Amino acid sequence: MKDLAPVYFASGRSPADEALRLQRLDSFYAAPTRAWLQQAAGLKPGMAVAEFGPGSGRMLDWFAGIVGRDGDVLGVDIDLSRAGPVRPPVRLMQADLHAPAAEPGAFDLVYARMVLGHLSDPDAAIARLLEWLRPGGRIALADLDCSRSLPEDMSTPGMAEFAAAMDATRQAMDETSLMDSAFGGRLAGAMKQAGVTQVNEQRFERVVEGGSDWALFQAENVEIIAGLTGAHEASAITARYMRTPGVRYHDQALVFCTGIRP
Ligand SMILES: C[S@@+](CC[C@H](N)C(=O)[O-])C[C@H]1O[C@@H](n2cnc3c(N)ncnc32)[C@H](O)[C@@H]1O
């Protein structure tokens, strides 16, 4: 079995292609993420926000619009080639989030979406993220839980094949450590274990239609994953059903958790 733990999900793709993929990923999740942060992250003008793994950088601009010129927005990514140019108050830092905090205790809010589930030791990563927060500051993390992604109606012809293929695709990610496909389901527990208090969890779940923009995007992602894990047959079947209009399935859940650094 391959060990893909050190491999970035989209390594091997050109920075331009990956930048576009990350922009599309952000646009699909922008509305629920922003609604959650507006309601649960205590955002205010003048705040200092640090985002880890900002990818396309789209959320950095959104934070900047809220905190304003008196605030501070720092994006920390191991690879900044996918982020666009930034304007104050946004700053970028190329760094590994496993490293000790370069600006310890400096932030009111630390945020990361769809980053921790890709890491080999997400618990250690949460401990590192907390170092950047002032005492009483808030941490807001979002990760995927793909474990309940299934066809909506298993009695429809072909859906047993689709479900088995989705399962094999997930298993290949987990067994190669490319990604922990169920990490979102364990996120709240991991935060509590790290000493975070007042942990609150919300799940963004929905049923999606094969052939929709989102399903077509997911089908492309499944094929990228197969290029790394080698699970080509399962991925081809999964992608085919995702591209088929009339197929309906429970989407991967995006699990949003907030809490406080004591
Ligand atoms: C799947 S993308 C998510 C992008 C963005 N957060 C979003 O939700 O649209 C993961 C991002 O985390 C970054 N990343 C991965 N490992 C990292 C690490 N050890 N330290 C800092 N950033 C990392 C990647 O470069 C990439 O930008």
Whether 3 is covered by a domain: the verdict is no
Full-model pTM: 0.95
Q: Whose CA is nearest to atom 1 of ligand 1?
A: 114
Whether 137 is covered by a domain: the verdict is yes
Give the tens place of pLDDT for each residue, 179-225: 899 999 999 999 999 999 999 999 999 999 999 999 999 999 999 98
Whether 61 is covered by a domain: the verdict is yes
Whether 128 is covered by a domain: the verdict is yes
CATH value at residue 42? 3.40.50.150
Of 11, 25, 77, best ligand 1 pocket probe by most atoms within 8 Å of the beta carbon: 77
**Residue 10 CA: which ligand 1 atom is closest?**
1
pLDDT of residue 81: 87
What spacing in Å lies between the alpha carbon of 71 and ligand 1's midpoint? Answer: 23
* Cα angle 11, 241, 8; round to 5: 10
Are 166 and 222 contacting, i.e. CB atoms less than 8 angstroms apart?
Answer: no
Please indicate whether residue 177 or residue 35 has the higher confidence score (pLDDT).
35
Whether 6 is covered by a domain: the verdict is no
Whether 1 is covered by a domain: the verdict is no
In the structure, which protein residues have their CB atom closer than 6 angstroms to any atom of ligand 1? 22, 25-26, 52-55, 77-79, 82, 96-98, 113-115, 118
pLDDT of residue 126: 98
Range of lowest pLDDT (53-62, 78-87, 229-238): 78-87
Whether 180 is covered by a domain: the verdict is yes
Task: Report strand pairing: 72-77 vs 48-52.
Answer: parallel
Whether 113 is covered by a domain: the verdict is yes
Asked whether residue 25 carries a pLDDT value surpassing 80, the answer given is yes
Give the tens place of pLDDT for each residue, 153-190: 999 999 999 999 999 999 999 888 888 999 999 999 99
Range of lowest pLDDT (21-30, 63-72, 137-146): 21-30
Number of domains in the chain: 1
Average pLDDT of the chain to the nearest whole number: 94
Separation CA 127–CA 81 (nearest Å): 26
Mean pLDDT, rounded, for 67-75:
98
Q: Which domain holds residue 64?
A: 15-260
**Residue 97 CA: which ligand 1 atom is closest?**
20
